[in-house]
């Protein structure tokens, strides 16, 4: 068995194998478990606060109190509703003088049963001995529920999760000496679907047992205390030493350490890692919203993403399980991603085709596998995902692998499922992004796409080493350009946002690399300000969208540089004239010193001159600020737009 404990890191390493069966992924609830010496209730609630960004509709905690009894509290709605029903000072086992130091917490995103108190986790067995929290869907729960009911068990909720508590309670009761881990092992063998589960048993109060299939689970290794959570953010206040659990693994946590096995009880490989960001990175840093802080963090995110990837004149990825020959054999690239990551992917096409002279197709991941794309060993699929958990992208990766294509992941989350199932990985080191809307991870994805383009160009020999080094240096210089944009545009973008906050709709136009910027600008405004916003390739205007232009409609135009591609610049000036003639208000993002555009811009946002491929980095930033500020002016929660979750793990 693999033992994990402080100063006793497991000697094992490497990536677990790709799971053999494809499971349906599920909404990403937040899980945190604790066994140690602190008051568990406080640790758990703080952990849940750090997981709030995942999106949830109810929350709960279970603590084995000082009398060895389970205390469970749950509440639908925001975490504060839960806090309001918690005993002050924690679950202490009143009168015993001993605090509850073992427990688990959960934020739920409803799948089976509405988001009510009774459906919130943790769930218990009838005797209130076992508590469970669950992320996933137990697909055979109807049969299991029927079996329990036939045996006289009354279920207290509509959830699929509750069956796990009853089953573990029965397995434990049948053979208490075998212990909680054996009971959990017996039960998970019967479960179908995707599940990450954490259990505690009132009769075994000094341990918690967790099982992982599909949804992520990380162990935090402290001094005399252990944590388990969906994300390191839940325990980063207490420890930065972590161990990632692989698929189909069970971990038993006690104060002294962790024991990890597979579902059969055999020793399991795990991956220890050190979390290299601190808690300040997960806090708002003086801003009203995480998103505003994250926008400002972009120069650092870009620099961190680039750092260390040019070694001895060669671009290196973070992980590469492909030989140089396998890479040289690539003759076609697909980029698959969703939402903002898809917009980054659109920019990858410009760079890779330009530098490598190889065809690149970019596709939203949810469409990719259903149309039977032509894939083989010489196809490279680049999957871009901040979370690394997005179900559409993950399924696209699996489809590509099934067709023998090679997969390269660009991801911001160390050890997430998409990079684990890929042949090569480049991490965007943007740090945690708490705001639901992607900002710093978008620009970091763009830079990462360019790094992949350069890596391919050097492999194919379409760029010499000195050319690669020159491009890399330009990428590095972009961090300063973005920093200058931030200094210059935040205030004007804010003022503009206040002025336009009452508009009904906003259109965004761009050409060439400005087109994905227009799409991304529109997406940000839609998702944050709930305003109708559309991005168009400016040349498409005359093929339909121009009918939307009416008096005073704000139109944001992303201008190319007047230098590099003068023809494009000319064409966009014509587009601006067309929309102005129809009464539009023009907001123009243009290069500093572009005097030709000035007469056509009702509002001019100037950004530094950079090379064509880097223009999206400087042009996107003002549009991010604009969207956030419009949302704020309209009174919306910038970090948590309605109906959205940070990780979308349903198809």
What positions carry a catalytic annotation? 29, 646
Site string for ligand F6R, 400-439 (x = CB under 6 A): -------------------------------------xx-
Q: Tell me which stretch binds ligand F6R (CB under 6 A): 11-19, 131-139, 161-169, 336-344.
A: 336-344
* Burial class of 48 by CB neighbour count within 10 A (0 to 12, 13 to 18, 19+): buried
CB of residue 438 vs ligand F6R: minimum separation in angstroms? 3
Site for ligand F6R contains 168 (CB under 6 A): no
Tell me the torsion sign for CA atoms 552, 587, 644, 339.
positive
- Closest approach of Cβ 385 to ligand F6R, in Å? 3
Residue from 253, 341, 425, 621 touching ligand F6R (CB under 6 A): that is 341
Q: Which stretch binds ligand F6R (CB under 6 A): 199-207, 263-271, 385-393, 567-575?
A: 385-393
Residue 339 binds ligand F6R (CB under 6 A):
yes
Chain centroid, CA 240 distance in Å: 19
Q: Give min distance, CB of 365 to ligand F6R, in A.
A: 8
Q: Which two tokens stand for residue 133?
A: 């929290």
CB nearer to ligand F6R: pick between 409 and 558: 409
Q: Which residues in 99-158 contact ligand F6R (CB under 6 A)?
A: none
The DSSP element (H or E) to which 73 belongs, if any, is: strand 70-76
Q: Which residue is nearest to ligand F6R (CB)?
A: 339
- Nearest residue (CB) to ligand F6R, 71 versus 433: 433
What stretches of 93-163 adopt beta strand conformation (E)?
102-108, 123-124, 130-138
Q: 55 or 299: whose CB is closer to ligand F6R? A: 55
Q: Which is nearer to ligand F6R, 66 or 616 (CB)?
A: 616
The structure tokens listed for 116 are: 């009510």
Residue 527 touching ligand F6R (CB under 6 A)? yes
Whole-angstrom CA distances from 579 to 512, 526, 582 are: 19, 21, 5
Quick check: 230 binds ligand F6R (CB under 6 A)?
no
Rule CB under 6 A: is residue 529 a binding residue for ligand F6R? no
What is the C-alpha to C-alpha distance for residues 355 and 452, in angstroms, rounded to an integer? 11
**Three-state SS letters, 384-448:** EECCCCCHHHHHHHHHHHHCCCEEEEEECCCCCHHHHCCCEEEECCCCCCCCCCCCHHHHHHHHH
Stretch that binds ligand F6R, among 201-209, 239-247, 379-387, 529-537 (CB under 6 A): 379-387
Length of the chain (residues): 651
Bridge pairing between strands 70-76 and 2-4: unpaired
Both structure tokens of 277? 């960001």
Size of site (CB under 6 A) for ligand F6R: 15
User: Does position 59 bind ligand F6R by CB under 6 A?
Assistant: no
Q: Spell out the alpha helix ranges (H) of 461-597.
A: 465-500, 514-529, 566-581
Check residue 475 for interaction with ligand F6R (CB under 6 A): no
The residue among 28 and 597 lying less far from ligand F6R, judged by its C-beta, is 28
Contact between 393 and ligand F6R by CB under 6 A: the answer reads yes
Position 390 contacts ligand F6R (CB under 6 A): yes
Q: Give the number of other Cβ atoms within 10 Å of residue 169's Cβ.
A: 25
Shortest spacing between CB 439 and ligand F6R, in angstroms: 8
The helix/strand/coil state of 277 is coil
Binding site for ligand F6R (CB under 6 A): 338-341, 385-387, 390, 393, 437-438, 523, 527, 647-648
């Amino acid at each position: 068995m693999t033992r994990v404990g402080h100063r006793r890191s497991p000697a094992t390493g490497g990536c677990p194998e790709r799971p053999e069966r494809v499971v349906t992924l599920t909404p990403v609830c937040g899980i945190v478990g604790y066994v140690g010496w602190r008051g568990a209730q406080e640790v758990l609630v703080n952990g849940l606060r750090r997981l709030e960004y995942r999106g949830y509709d109810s929350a709960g905690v279970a603590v084995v109190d000082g009398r060895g009894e389970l205390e469970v509290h749950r509440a639908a709605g925001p975490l504060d509703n839960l806090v309001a029903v918690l005993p002050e000072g924690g679950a202490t086992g009143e009168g015993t003088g001993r605090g509850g130091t073992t427990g688990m917490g959960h934020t739920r995103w409803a799948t089976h049963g509405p988001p009510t108190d009774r459906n919130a986790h943790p769930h218990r067995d009838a005797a209130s001995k076992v508590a469970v929290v669950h992320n996933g869907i137990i697909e055979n729960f109807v049969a299991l529920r029927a079996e329990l009911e036939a045996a006289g068990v009354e279920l207290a909720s509509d959830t699929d999760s509750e069956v796990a508590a009853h089953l573990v309670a029965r397995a434990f009761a049948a053979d208490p000496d075998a212990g909680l881990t054996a009971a959990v092992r017996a039960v998970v063998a019967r479960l179908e679907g995707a599940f990450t589960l954490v259990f505690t048993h009132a009769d075994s109060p000094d341990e918690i047992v967790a099982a992982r299939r599909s949804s992520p689970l990380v162990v935090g290794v402290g001094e005399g205390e252990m944590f388990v959570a969906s994300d390191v953010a839940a325990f980063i206040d207490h420890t930065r030493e972590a161990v990632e659990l692989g698929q189909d693994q069970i971990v038993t946590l006690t104060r002294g350490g962790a024991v990890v096995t597979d579902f059969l009880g055999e020793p399991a490989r795990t991956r220890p890692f050190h979390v290299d960001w601190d808690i300040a990175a997960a806090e708002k840093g003086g801003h009203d919203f995480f998103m505003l802080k994250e926008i400002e963090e972009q120069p650092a995110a870009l620099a961190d993403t680039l750092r260390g990837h040019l070694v001895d004149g060669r671009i290196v990825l973070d992980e590469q399980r492909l030989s140089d020959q396998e890479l040289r054999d690539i003759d076609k690239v697909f980029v698959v991603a969703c939402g903002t990551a898809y917009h980054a992917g659109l920019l990858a096409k410009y760079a890779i085709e330009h530098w490598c002279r190889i065809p690149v197709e970019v596709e939203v991941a949810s469409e990719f596998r259903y149309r039977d794309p032509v894939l083989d060993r010489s196809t490279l699929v680049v999957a871009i995902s901040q979370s690394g958990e997005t179900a559409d992208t993950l399924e696209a990766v699996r489809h590509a692998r099934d067709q023998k294509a090679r997969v390269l992941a660009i991801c911001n989350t160390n050890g997430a499922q998409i990079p684990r199932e890929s042949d090569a990985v480049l991490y965007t080191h943007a740090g945690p992004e708490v705001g639901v809307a992607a900002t710093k991870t978008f620009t970091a994805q763009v830079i990462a796409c360019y790094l992949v383009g350069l890596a391919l160009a050097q492999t194919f020999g379409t760029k010499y080493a000195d050319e690669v080094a020159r491009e890399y240096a330009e990428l590095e210089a972009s961090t300063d350009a973005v920093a200058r944009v931030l200094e210059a545009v935040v205030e004007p973008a804010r003022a503009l946002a206040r002025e336009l906050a009452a508009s009904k709709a906003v259109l965004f136009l761009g050409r060439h690399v400005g087109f994905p910027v227009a799409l991304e600008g529109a997406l940000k405004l839609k998702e944050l300000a709930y305003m109708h916003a559309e991005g168009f390739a400016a040349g498409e205007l005359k093929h339909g969208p121009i009918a939307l232009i009416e008096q005073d409609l704000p139109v944001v135009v992303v201008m190319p540089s007047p230098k590099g591609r003068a023809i494009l610049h000319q064409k966009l000036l014509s587009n601006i004239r067309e929309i102005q003639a129809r009464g539009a208000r023009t907001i123009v993002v243009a290069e500093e010193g572009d005097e030709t555009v000035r007469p056509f811009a009702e509002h001019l946002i100037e950004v530094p001159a950079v090379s064509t491929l880097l223009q999206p980095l400087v042009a996107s930033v003002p549009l991010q600020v604009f969207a956030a500020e419009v949302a704020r002016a309209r009174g919306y929660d910038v970090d948590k737009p309605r109906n959205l979750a940070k990780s979308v793990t349903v198809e």
